[in-house]
Amino acid sequence: MSHDEDHIASTREKLVRMANQIATFFHSKPREEGITGVAEHINKFWEPRMRRQFFELLDGDPEDFDELVIAASARIKRPLTPEQADKSLGYARPVEAEGAIPRK
């Protein structure tokens, strides 16, 4: 595995672990309150890029996620595109200088 692949794998593992830790806390609450709590926590504290990655993982293979995370996912804000996630953080991809040779 390359360094980039290791980083991506570790990021995925961290997101799953963090989401499951949130769910573990909310398992002590009544189910509806737990679902709401997980969703509110992720919406409040996870930036759009994290939530985008979260949904990529959840859409691909949800079996590593706690069932409370899966239940809460319907209430978690889903960024539509990577650009939307970046833009909401105030980051815009640099515009190529006029007359510059486009990058490939």
Q: Which residue has the tokens 């509806």?
A: 32
| Cα separation values, 100 from 92, 94, 103, Å | 18, 13, 9
9 pLDDT band, cuts 50/70/90, is low
Cα separation, 83 vs 86, whole angstroms: 5
- 88: which 2 tokens? 């909401």
Q: Look at residue 74 in the predicted model and tell me its pLDDT.
A: 96
Q: Taking a C-beta distance cutoff of 8 angstroms, is the pair 26, 37 a contact?
A: yes
Task: Report the pLDDT value the prediction gives residue 79, as an integer from 0 to 100.
Answer: 85
- The pLDDT score that the predictor gives to residue 98 is 46
- Report the pLDDT value the prediction gives residue 10, as an integer from 0 to 100: 82
What is the pTM (predicted TM-score) of this model? Answer: 0.71
Residues 63-82 pLDDT 10s: 999 999 999 999 999 987 76
What's phi and psi for 96, nearest 5 deg?
-60, 140
